[in-house]
Structure 1
Amino acid sequence: MKILHKISKLKQDWNTSSPIWRLNRLLKVGKFGGYLVGIRFLGDCKIVWYSGKTGFVISIYYILAIYTLIHYAMENRIVDGLPCWSMSGLYLSSMVAYANALTKRHRIYKIGHFGQTYLYNEEFDEICSKSVNKTVKRFMIIMGIILASVILGSINPVYIWYRDGIFYSLAGVRFPFVEQNSNLNIMLNIILQLLLGYNAINGLTLLQTYQGTLMNAIELSADISIKEMINLSDYLEGGNADDAVIKKHITKIFRQIQRIDGYIKNASDCHYWYFFLSSPFITYSIGLSIYAQYIMGFPPGYGIALMSYVQMAVLYYIGQVVVDRNNRIRYSLYSDLKWYLLPPKYQRDVCFMMKRMQNGATLTIGPFQTLNFETLRILTQRIQSFIMFLLNFH
């Protein structure tokens, strides 16, 4: 009842509260999820005694997955041991994110709170309000899709268990000295799955909150820059030509663009290995899980593939937000800003900025490939090729 009362009060206060208050409420959700698993980069950035719990639980999964593969290999049934590796790519990606979160937590804290520090102010209250509402809705939609994919991934195994009495967990591992399909084996798999699920749900809440604030800062900075361009254009069209006022506006616009460019480069550098390694790991997980269900009758396979693809798509969506921001800024410099009314010395600066935005800062996979929807399309084709490659061995 207490929780329901708090939710009701939050709804009542939401529309009358300031944008930065709303952003803080969202950050608190991610912060709470992070504290439950000992990852505190949205809070005090401390490493506590249970910060290693996530890594420990995933390590147990890998030890058991290796044991399962060896067990089946000794019985000349190595193919039967492959389904338990369907989640391994997804967990490898999680381990990279986990290591990144612990080792660069102070830097990530600054990235996550960038919008609060530099962007949110009363001058652009309406823009900030729309931006934070969009961020909250996007967070809820993404979390809803992820949770739905987890549920869909669990429905088929539960149905098989109800129909045939055979238990399949998403991990699908065997335990030493425990008979397969025994009550003890089922119980141990359920416990392992609950531990993995607990860390996964809370970790995803933290991750999606952080990624939401990252996208919010990038989109909001573009909105503010465009608004500044429109304000300057209105001033120029009024027949005003005060050099000090023009310089003030131009300086604010360019500083905003340069600051967010630096922010994007900082985020790209901070998460370099996560962006670089997540794609191949998740690709491998999707391919193997589909193969495991299609060929070997592993019921959770398609559900695991869906979970993995959703997380990968979100990653590329962030990259697309950055690409769209660069395109919006470049277009606005040409159309929204009446640059032809500026004195010649400022026109040169605007032309330089237009050229610069053609190669604006982006999030990348490694040193060359950009994170965007086009790269996601190419990667989807590679997943299909990987599945075809696996089918050759059947």
Structure 2
Amino acid sequence: MAVTKQRFDLKSWIQFGGRYIYPNQHDDEKYIEICSKQVDRSMRNFLIRLAVMLAMEIAMEMVIVVMYTVPKLIEYEFQKLDEKLKESRSDMVNVHRTFRNIVQQIMDTDYYAMKISDGWYWRSFSAPIAFTYGIAMSIFCEYTMNFMAGYFSALISYLQLYYLCAAADTFSNDGTCEILYEIKWYVLPIKFQKDIMHLINRRQNKKSLSVGPFADLNIETFYDISKRIYSFIMFLLNFFD
């Protein structure tokens, strides 16, 4: 396979652009107008792509914040329930109301987790595949053709892949099951104990972000994808040699 041996570095590329695009070197107004128009167009496209990426990252970060915060609030509600049980075992009306509020919070959390999982299905399915291909090809092009942004692009994509898997791991393991295990369930009425068993079963089988039908997205999946990226890069380099 014929691969060009031409090399470009950042310095020569900037010098090339400066010779032909820098407006102060030209007196022709039309020439300056063309250069300015294309530069403005490129900057506008860059800002649009940056805004879209930032919006997606902010949306994901908001989901992560909620998934971190809600279990802590539920844990605090269970602590208050324990205090009420210790203070007065006869006030079962107040205990019943507090417990029902906690159950409603957990059910609401499960409902929104299901909506998020369904809404982000195609993103969580396609992103790991796209990142794997993009990282491998960026490193391959840098190694074989001295592609200027190869290693940097691969690094950014790899960090985004890790961030996606870490966010999915947080989404799946929000700590609610541990809270349900640790509460003093044995001092609650039998009816409430059965409700806790039902909640634990629901949390253990909750929906999670996944790579389609193949695997759930989590830190273990990130390590597995990293191995596949390395294997793919080695395959490309061996094929090139």
TM interval, shorter chain, is 0.7 to 0.9
On the 8 A contact 2:10/2:148 being kept in 1, the answer is no
The residue type paired with residue 389 of structure 1 is: F
| 2:227 is equivalent to residue 364 of structure 1 | no
Distance 1:370 1:230, change over 3 A: same
From 206, 216, 233, the counterpart of 2:55:
206
The residue type paired with residue 329 of structure 1 is: T
Once the two structures are superposed, the pairs formed by residues 1-394 of structure 1 within 5 Å of their partners are: 79-80=3-4, 158-161=10-13, 165=15, 183=20, 194-325=43-174, 328-335=175-182, 337-394=183-240
CA distance in 1, matches of 2:201, 2:229: 36
What TM-score does the superposition give when structure 1 sets the normalisation length?
Answer: 0.52
| Deviation, structure 1 residue 190 | 6.2
| Deviation, structure 1 residue 385 | 0.9
Q: Percent identity?
A: 29
Report 1 or 2 for greater relative contact order, CA contacts < 8 Å, sequence distance ≥ 6.
2
CA distance in 2, matches of 1:281, 1:256: 36
CA distance in 2, matches of 1:267, 1:369: 17
Moved more, 295-304 or 197-206: 197-206
CA deviation digits over 1:175-217, x for unaligned, max 9? xxxxxx9836xx7996675344212221122112211211122
Structure with max Cα Rg: 2
On the 8 A contact 1:157/1:300 being kept in 2, the answer is no
Distance 1:278 1:198, change over 3 A: same
| Deviation, structure 1 residue 377 | 1.1
| Deviation, structure 1 residue 244 | 2.0
> How many corresponding residue pairs?
223
CA distance in 2, matches of 1:205, 1:234: 44
5+ residue gaps, structure 2, are 22-34
CA distance in 2, matches of 1:298, 1:260: 46
CA distance in 2, matches of 1:368, 1:349: 32
CA distance in 1, matches of 2:228, 2:193: 45
What TM-score does the superposition give when structure 2 sets the normalisation length?
Answer: 0.82
Q: What is the alpha-carbon root mean square deviation over aligned residues?
A: 2.6
CA distance in 2, matches of 1:323, 1:202: 28
